[in-house]
C-alpha cells in the first residue's frame, strides 16, 4: 500500500480545486475523483464527497448530487453504518437508472446486495442484482454496471459452493473489464478466480494471481484489495504449512485492516495468526490474538466470527490444560454453531427456491418481454399526456399572473385616486379595492397550490430545508398570527404535554400544514374555540388540531386527502379541496403521518405525527 500515492492523489485534487474558477469546475473535479478513486483514499474521499454534495445542492445539480450520494452510500457501508447505507443507496436507484448513470447504478446495487447477503437475506440479494440486470437489458453504455453486478453474483455463488456458476460470472465480468476503467473491479475479479482455485486445491494457479494483484496494488492506496489479497495468500501458505510466510503476510493484512477499521476482516486475520502461534508454540501470542478477536466479536455482535474464534480458543485452552475454560469455549461455539446452522439451512432453502423461480422466469421470459413492450408503449403515452397536462397547468398559472399583476397595480391607482374623491365615494372605492385585492390573493394562492400539486403528482419530491426548531415557540407564533386576525370572534387555544424538545423540521412546510388545519378548524367551527395540542413522547411528536365544528360525514372520510375533494356538508363555505392533500404531502416528506378522526356535527381531530 503506497501512502505517497494516496497523498499525491489528494494533493492533485486539492490543487485542481484551488485553481478552479467556479463551483461547477470544482464539482466536476470531485465527481471525477470519486469515480476513479472511491476505493483508494477512504478518509479523504468522504470529505471531498461532502464538499461536492454541498456544491451540487447550491447549484441544484441533481445528477451530480445523486452520483455523489452513491459514493457516500459506499463509504457508509464500509464504516458499518448498514441501515443508512442501504436506505441512501435504495433511494437513488430509480434516478440513476432513469438518468443513465449506470456506473453508479452498479455500485449502489452492490452495496444493497452485499448488505442483504450479510443479513442472510439471500433471495433479496439475488433479486436486487437480477432485477437491475433485467432493467439494463437493451441499454447502451451499460457494461460497467453489468460487470459489477456479475462480480456480485460470482461472489454469492462462491459462498453457496456453486463454483461453476461463480467462475462463469467472474469470466463475464472479466470480458467486460476492458470497457471499464475500474481497476478495483478487475483486481477483485482476479481475487475471485484465486478463491475458486484455492477451494479446488489448485494453489499453483491461485498464488501467481494473488501476487499479480499485490503488484498492481503497489502504486495505489487500494488497501481493501491489498489486505484481501494478503489474507488469501496467507491462508494458502498456512494450508501448505509455510508458517513464516503465512505469518508475515497475515500480519501485514491485519495491520492494514486495523488502520481502516475493517473489524470483521481483522478477526479473520487474528484467527489465522492464533493458529500459526499455536503451531509454533508461541502460546502467549496466541492468547493475546484470541482475546483481541473475542473482544471485537462481542463488541460488534459478530456471531459467525465468534463461533469460529471460540472453537479455536477451546483448542488453545485444552493445549494449556485449562479444561474447564476449554469446555466453556466449546459450549459457546456449539450454541452459536447450532443457531448459525439453522440460519444456513434456511438460506439454502431460499437458494433452492430462488433457482426454481429463476427457471420459471426464464420459461416466461418471452411473454414478459412482449408484455413489457406493450406496457412501455402505454407508459410513454401516459408520460406524454402527463407532461402535456403539467406544461398546460404551469403555463396557464404563469400566464394568469400577468393580468393579476395588472389588476393589482390598477387597484393601487384607484386607491390613490380615491384619496382625492369625495367622502361619499371614497369608502365605496376602498371597499371595492379591498375585495379585489383579497380575491387576487386567493387566486395567487390557488395557482401556487395547483403548481405544487402538479409537481407532486409528477413524482418530483420537494427538498426539505430542516432547521432545529423549538416546537413550542414555533406553535405559539402560529397561534399569535391567527389571534391578530380574530376569525369569527374565535381564538385558538394552545396546549402542551410531555417533555419539551427541539426537532429538525422544514419550518415553511410544517407552518403551511398547521396553518391549513387551523384555518379549517376556525372556518368550520361555530361557537367553540379550536385547540392546537402539542404532545411530546420518546418516539414521536404529535400536533393535534381539535375542533367542535360541523364534522365530516363517514362517506367522505376515505377520499378526504385526495386533491379537490371536499366534504358534502360544507355548504357555501369557501375552499378548493387542495389544502389537506398538500399538507399531508408536506408531513410525509418528514417521514410523518397525518390522520383524522371525526363525527358528524360533533367535530374533528386532525393529528400530525412526526418521528423523533
Domain, as residue range, for 475: 467-611
**Does residue 211 contact residue 249 with C-beta atoms inside 8 Å?**
no
Of 139-143, 180-184, 344-348, 493-497, the one with minimum mean pLDDT is 344-348
- 245 lies in some domain: no
Considering 224-238, 401-415, 420-434, the range whose residues carry the highest mean pLDDT is: 224-238
Give CA 431 to chain center in angstroms: 54
Picking from 177, 264, 175, 173, the residue whose alpha carbon sits closest to that of residue 227 is: 264
Q: Are residues 299 and 427 in the same domain?
A: no
CA distance 119 to 413: 71
Q: Of 169, 193, 219, which closes a domain? A: 219
Report the chain's mean pLDDT, rounded to a whole number. 81
Residues 40 and 103 in one domain: yes
Q: Residue 547 pairs with which residues in a beta bridge? A: 604
pLDDT at 137: 79
Q: For residue range 438-486, what is the model confidence (pLDDT) as tens digits?
A: 777 667 666 666 666 666 555 555 677 889 999 999 999 988 888 766 5
Concatenating the DSSP letter of every residue in 72-132 gives: HHHHHHHTT-HHHHHHHHHHHHHHHHHTT-HHHHHHHHHHHHHHHHHTT-HHHHHHHHHHH
Q: Grade residue 608 by pLDDT with cuts at 50, 70 and 90.
A: very high
- % of residues, the chain, pLDDT over 90: 27
What is d(CA 289, CA 222) in angstroms, rounded to the nearest whole number?
26
Same domain, 172 and 276: no
Same domain membership, residue 471 and residue 452? no
Q: What is the mean pLDDT of residues 146-175?
A: 90
- Residue 430 domain flag: yes
Range with the poorest average pLDDT among 334-338, 420-424, 459-463: 459-463
| 224 occurs within a structural domain | no
Do the Cβ atoms of 144 and 179 come closer than 8 Å?
yes
d(CA 601, CA 606): 16
If asked whether residues 93 and 182 sit together in one domain, one would say no
pLDDT band at 269 (very low <50, low <70, confident <90, very high): very high
- 84 and 72: one domain? yes
Indicate if 448 and 566 belong to the same structural domain.
no
Residue 3 banded pLDDT, cuts 50, 70, 90? very low
Is residue 5 included in any domain, yes or no? no
Same domain, 153 and 130: no
pLDDT at 346: 55
| Low-confidence winner among 39-43, 405-409, 473-477, 569-573 (lowest mean pLDDT) | 39-43
Contact indicator for 273, 251 with CB cutoff of 8 Å:
yes
Number of domains in the chain: 5
Could you tell me the pLDDT band of residue 362, with boundaries at 50, 70 and 90?
A: low
Instruction: Give the rounded percent of residues in the chain with a pLDDT score beyond 70.
Output: 80
pLDDT at residue 572 in the model = 58
483 and 557, same domain (yes or no): yes
Residue that finishes a domain, picked among 457, 483, 500: 457
The verdict on residue 540 lying in a domain is yes
**Of 139, 161, 193, which residue is a domain's last?**
139
Residue 292 above 90 pLDDT?
yes
Mark whether 406 and 530 lie in a shared domain.
Answer: no
* Band of residue 77 on the pLDDT scale cut at 50, 70, 90: confident
Contact 33, 10 (CB under 8 A): no
Residue 514 lies in a domain: yes
Question: What does the pLDDT average to over 412-441?
Answer: 74
Q: What is the CATH number of the domain that holds 420?
A: 1.10.287
Tell me the pLDDT tens digit for each residue of 482-513: 876 655 678 889 999 988 888 899 888 898 88
In this prediction, residue 390 has a pLDDT band, given cuts at 50, 70 and 90, of low
Lowest mean pLDDT among 30-44, 46-60, 133-147, 164-178: 30-44
> Is residue 232 one of the residues assigned to a domain?
no
- Pinpoint the alpha helices (H) of 486-543: 507-524
pLDDT given for residue 259 in this prediction = 82
Can you give the pTM of this predicted structure? 0.52
Q: Tell me the pLDDT band of 229, cut-offs 50, 70 and 90.
A: very high
Average pLDDT over residues 592-599: 90
76 and 36 within one domain? yes
Give the integer Cα–Cα distance in Å for 298 and 155.
27
- If asked whether residues 415 and 292 sit together in one domain, one would say no
Give the residue from 452, 443, 454 showing the smallest Cα distance to 403.
443
State whether residue 398 is helix, strand or coil. Answer: helix
Q: CATH code at 321?
A: 1.25.40.10
Contact in structure between 207 and 191 (CB atoms under 8 Å): no
- 432 or 89, higher pLDDT: 89
In a domain, 135, yes or no: yes
Q: Please tell me the distance from the alpha carbon of residue 418 to that of residue 217, in angstroms, as a whole number.
A: 84
Give the domain CATH number at 525: 3.30.565.10
Amino acid at each position: 500500500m503506497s501512502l505517497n500515492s494516496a497523498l499525491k492523489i489528494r494533493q492533485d485534487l486539492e490543487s485542481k480545486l484551488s485553481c478552479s474558477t467556479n463551483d461547477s469546475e470544482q464539482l466536476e473535479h470531485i465527481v471525477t475523483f470519486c469515480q476513479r478513486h472511491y476505493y483508494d483514499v477512504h478518509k479523504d474521499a468522504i470529505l471531498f464527497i461532502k464538499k461536492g454534495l454541498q456544491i451540487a445542492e447550491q447549484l441544484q445539480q441533481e445528477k451530480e448530487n445523486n452520483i455523489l450520494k452513491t459514493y457516500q452510500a459506499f463509504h457508509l457501508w464500509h464504516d458499518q453504518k448498514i441501515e443508512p447505507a442501504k436506505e441512501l443507496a435504495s433511494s437513488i436507484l430509480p434516478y440513476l437508472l432513469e438518468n443513465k448513470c449506470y456506473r453508479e447504478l452498479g455500485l449502489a446495487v452492490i452495496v444493497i446486495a452485499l448488505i442483504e447477503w450479510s443479513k442472510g437475506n439471500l433471495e433479496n440479494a439475488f433479486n436486487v442484482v437480477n432485477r437491475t440486470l433485467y432493467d439494463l437489458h437493451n441499454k447502451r453504455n451499460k457494461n460497467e454496471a453489468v460487470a459489477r453486478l456479475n462480480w456480485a453474483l460470482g461472489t454469492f455463488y462462491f459462498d453457496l459452493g456453486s463454483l461453476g456458476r461463480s467462475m462463469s460470472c467472474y469470466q463475464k465480468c472479466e470480458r467486460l473489464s476492458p470497457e471499464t476503467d475500474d481497476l478495483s473491479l478487475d483486481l477483485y475479479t482476479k481475487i475471485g478466480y484465486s478463491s475458486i482455485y484455492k477451494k479446488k486445491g489448485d494453489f499453483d494457479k491461485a498464488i501467481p494471481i494473488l501476487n499479480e494483484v499485490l503488484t498492481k496494488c503497489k502504486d495505489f492506496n487500494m488497501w481493501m484489495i491489498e489486505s484481501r489479497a494478503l489474507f488469501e495468500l496467507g491462508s494458502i501458505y498456512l494450508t501448505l504449512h509455510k508458517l513464516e510466510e503465512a505469518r508475515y503476510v497475515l500480519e501485514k493484512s491485519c495491520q492494514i485492516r486495523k488502520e481502516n477499521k475493517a473489524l470483521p476482516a481483522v478477526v479473520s486475520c487474528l484467527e489465522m495468526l492464533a493458529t500459526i502461534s499455536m503451531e509454533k508454540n508461541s502460546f502467549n501470542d496466541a492468547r493475546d490474538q484470541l482475546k483481541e478477536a473475542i473482544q471485537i466479536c462481542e463488541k460488534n455482535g459478530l456471531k459467525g466470527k465468534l463461533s469460529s474464534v471460540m472453537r479455536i480458543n477451546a483448542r488453545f485452552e485444552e493445549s494449556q490444560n485449562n479444561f474447564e475454560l476449554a469446555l466453556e469455549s466449546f459450549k459457546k461455539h456449539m450454541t452459536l454453531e447450532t443457531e448459525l446452522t439453522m440460519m444456513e439451512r434456511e438460506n439454502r432453502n431460499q437458494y433452492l427456491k430462488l433457482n426454481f423461480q429463476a427457471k420459471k422466469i426464464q420459461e416466461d421470459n418471452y411473454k414478459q418481454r412482449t408484455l413489457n413492450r406493450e406496457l412501455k408503449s402505454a407508459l410513454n403515452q401516459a408520460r406524454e399526456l402527463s407532461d402535456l397536462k403539467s406544461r398546460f397547468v404551469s403555463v396557464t398559472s404563469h400566464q394568469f399572473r400577468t393580468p393579476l399583476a395588472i389588476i393589482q397595480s390598477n387597484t393601487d391607482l384607484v386607491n390613490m385616486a380615491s384619496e382625492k374623491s369625495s367622502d361619499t365615494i371614497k369608502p365605496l372605492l376602498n371597499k371595492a379595492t379591498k375585495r379585489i385585492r383579497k380575491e387576487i390573493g386567493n387566486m395567487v394562492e390557488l395557482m401556487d397550490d395547483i403548481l405544487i400539486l402538479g409537481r407532486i403528482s409528477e413524482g418530483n419530491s420537494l427538498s426539505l430545508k430542516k432547521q432545529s426548531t423549538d416546537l413550542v415557540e414555533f406553535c405559539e407564533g402560529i397561534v399569535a398570527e391567527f389571534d391578530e386576525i380574530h376569525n369569527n370572534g374565535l381564538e385558538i387555544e394552545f396546549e402542551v404535554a410531555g417533555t419539551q424538545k427541539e426537532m429538525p423540521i422544514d419550518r415553511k412546510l410544517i407552518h403551511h400544514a398547521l396553518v391549513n388545519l387551523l384555518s379549517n378548524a376556525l372556518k368550520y367551527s361555530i361557537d367553540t374555540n379550536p385547540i392546537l395540542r402539542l404532545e411530546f413522547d420518546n418516539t414521536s411528536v404529535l400536533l393535534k388540531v381539535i375542533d367542535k365544528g360541523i364534522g365530516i360525514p363517514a362517506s367522505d372520510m376515505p377520499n378526504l386527502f385526495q386533491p379537490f375533494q371536499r366534504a358534502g356538508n360544507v355548504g357555501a363555505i369557501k375552499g378548493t379541496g387542495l389544502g389537506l392533500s398538500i399538507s399531508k404531502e408536506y408531513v410525509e416528506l418528514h417521514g410523518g403521518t397525518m390522520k383524522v378522526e371525526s363525527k358528524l356535527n360533533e367535530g374533528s381531530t386532525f393529528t400530525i405525527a412526526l418521528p423523533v
